[in-house]
Structure 1
Amino acid sequence: MPEAIWIKLIGTLPSLFWAAFAVIVFLSLRGTIIHSLVPRVTALRALGVEVEMAGQLLDRVAEGSNTPVTPTMRRGILSRLEHAADTLRSGRILWIDDHPEHNGALISLLRSMDMVVDTARSTGEGLIALRHGPYDIILTDIDRDGDPQAGISMLRELEAGNVDLPVVVHSHNFNPELGVDRRIFAATNNPVEIVHYVIDLMERIRFGAPEV
């Protein structure tokens, strides 16, 4: 074989050596790489599905609301849901309302983020639920069963039963000019604001309230 060909072959040996070394390393670590990357990819895909589903449910919430949900509000809440997905997961809400069907789309939205949302139609049912399971947040209406202050009266019963949970009021009949009970974290008739308040509270619960 001519000398020039030998020189070329010898010159390619380092490249062949490194290529073979890379293949050996990959084959040796392939299992570790796959086990490391697959959960991350799966988690990202799952989060994408959660956010996409949340967007569809948010559109349903907007359709059933008397309060308009602007494109800016929609983008804002979807961004917060995406960033707060881990914070919301496994959070527990008790929603007390004598017409839970009116909140169906909003309940589905919260459940799509892997939150537990139980419903009760009266204060009595709510108190029973609180005795049988731990919750992070109570959502409530105000006017129930012909009593325009049922939600407010419920706060006294919670206090008497040493139930120290944050309360968010979702009601068209809430009048802050009459005074805001110290147990009420927030009150609104806007479903998007409800989601913001739930995220705010779950962040406080998971990470603690920020120092003032």
Structure 2
Amino acid sequence: MLNHDWMPEAIWIKLIGTLPSLFWVTFATVVYLSLRKTIIQSLVPRVTALRALGVEVEIAGQLLDQATERSDIPVTPADRRGVLNRLEHAAETLRGGSILWVDDHPEFNYPLTKIFRSMEMRVDAVRSTDDALIALRRDSYDIILSDIDRHGDPQAGISMLRELETQAINLPVLVYSANFNPELGVDRRIFAATNNPVEVAHYVIDLLERVRFGSPNVRGW
């Protein structure tokens, strides 16, 4: 004969065994529905930021092409991809950085200036050493970016270095000049010098990384 009392007991045991799972599923559903709006609101800005960064990198690529065309420096596809990848990965490092750019023809630097500003850097352009010294007394900067030949003086950039030493302004100096000849050597006060816009972007990232991580070799060498 069948034990009629056994079946209900087995069913109850089965139900009791499934209660914890049902409880957690219900609990998770309630929590999700309660926090759904908050979760979406927190994720949307991050997704938007990623999309915006993609747009910035795309724009940076176009501006980089303009800069290389203006400089007549050959840039390989690998070089182009490399610097754009670095810009993308260094976005947080570059954000908030500042450059004082000394050049009597700032319009020639527009593509690179636009790239750095698109990465939320501050770039102030001045046309002479005197203007640079005024700006340095007024504001603080992470990097000085300068040309060499200004207003007909082929040594204007080098003379500025001596002024910086006299006034104990210990900021890293990066030289970007179409007339730069690496075979002539580099002044001891210059972090790096180039006539290649791709290298300018790399050097700016290098310097900002050192500034952010407190390298003792960036300031006061």
1:74 aligned residue: 80
Matches of 1:188 and 1:38, distance apart in 2: 41
Cα distance change of structure 1 residues 81 and 143 upon mapping to structure 2, 3 Å threshold: same
| Deviation (angstroms), 1:16 | 7.9
Structure 1 gap segments, 5+ residues each: 1-6
1:31 aligns with 2:13: no
**Alpha-carbon deviation of 1:161?**
1.1
The more displaced of 124-133 and 170-179 is: 170-179
Structure 2 residue 97 is matched with structure 1 residue 99: no
Question: How large is the Cα RMSD of the aligned pairs?
Answer: 2.3
- 63-72 vs 79-88, which moves further: 63-72
In structure 2, the gaps of 5 or more residues are: 1-10
Distance in 2 between residues matched to 1:156 and 1:62, nearest whole Å: 30
Matched, 1:65 2:71: yes
Please report how far the alpha carbon of residue 28 of structure 1 lies from its aligned counterpart in structure 2 after TM superposition: 1.9
The equivalences for 1:114-193 within 5 A come to: 114-193=120-199
Q: CA deviation at 1:34?
A: 2.3
Deviations 1:16-72 (A, max 9, x none): 877655432321222342243223223212222221221121122122221012111
Partner of 2:52: 46
Q: After superposition, give the CA deviation of every residue in 1:126-162 in whole Å (9 maximum; x if it has no partner).
A: 1111111111101111111111111001101011111
| Cα distance between partner residues in 1 of 2:145 and 2:98 | 11
The alignment partner of 2:71 has SS state of coil
In structure 2, the residue matched to 1:4 is none
Q: If the length of structure 1 is used for normalisation, what is the TM-score?
A: 0.85
- 2:4 maps to none
**Which whole-Å CA distance do the structure 2 matches of 1:140 and 1:164 have between them?**
15
Between the aligned partners of 1:138 and 1:52, the Cα distance in structure 2 is 26
Aligned length, in residue pairs:
202
Question: Can you list the C-alpha shifts for 1:69-127, whole angstroms capped at 9, x where unaligned?
Answer: 21111100010000000100111101101111111111111111111111111111111
Q: Distance between the aligned counterparts of 2:192 and 2:158, measured in 1?
A: 13
The alpha carbon displacement at 1:176 in A equals 4.4
User: Share of identical aligned residues, percent?
Assistant: 71
